[in-house]
Amino acid sequence: MTTEKTSGPGLEDVIDARLDENLTGFKNELKTEIMVEVTDMMETLILSKKETATATTTAAVAAEVGREASPSSTKQQRLREEGIKRIYMIEGWSHDAFSFQCFVLNLENGEETTLTISPASDKDRVAVHLCSSVVALGSIIYMIGGQCPPGHCPEGFEGCRHPHPHVRYFDTCEPEKGWKLGAPMLTGRAGPAAAVVDGKIYVVGGLLDEYSDSNDVLAECFDPKTNEWRPLTVLDYEPTVYCHTQVPYVYDDGKKSILINSYMTKETLYEYLLDEQKWRIFDQTFEKCLNQGTILDDILYTVCEDAKNPLYGFHLSLKQWFPIEVELAKHSRIRVINVNASVFASGSDKLCLVWHYFDFTRARYSNYRKVECLEIKLNKSYSASGILNLTAHQESYHFFHVSSGCPEQIFIPM
Please report the pLDDT score of residue 225 as a whole number: 96
108 Cβ contact partners less than 8 Å away, ≥ 6 residues apart:
58, 61, 69, 72, 76, 77, 80, 85, 86
Q: What is the pLDDT along the chain (414 residues), one digit of tens a residue?
A: 444 434 444 444 544 554 454 455 445 544 544 554 554 455 444 444 434 433 333 333 233 332 233 333 343 344 345 789 999 999 887 777 889 999 999 999 999 999 999 999 999 998 888 889 999 999 999 999 998 887 788 877 776 678 899 999 999 999 999 999 999 999 998 888 899 999 999 998 888 877 666 667 888 999 999 999 999 877 666 676 667 777 889 898 889 999 988 777 678 888 999 988 888 899 988 887 667 789 998 999 988 777 677 889 999 999 999 999 988 876 566 665 555 788 999 988 999 999 888 877 765 656 788 899 999 999 999 999 989 999 999 999 999 999 888 888 899 998
Cβ distance 182 to 241 under 8 Å?
no
CA–CA distances in Å: residue 237 to residues 70, 282, 285: 52, 11, 18
* Residue 197: strand, helix, or coil: strand
* φ, ψ of residue 261 in degrees (nearest 5): -125, 165
Please report the pLDDT score of residue 14 as a whole number: 42
Distance CA 329, CA 52 (A): 23
Please report the pLDDT score of residue 19 as a whole number: 45
Please report the pLDDT score of residue 66 as a whole number: 29
Please report the pLDDT score of residue 29 as a whole number: 46
Distance CA 50, CA 305 (A): 39
Please report the pLDDT score of residue 334 as a whole number: 65
Q: What domains does the chain contain, in order, with CATH numbers?
A: 18-85+294-407 (no CATH), 118-287 (2.120.10.80)
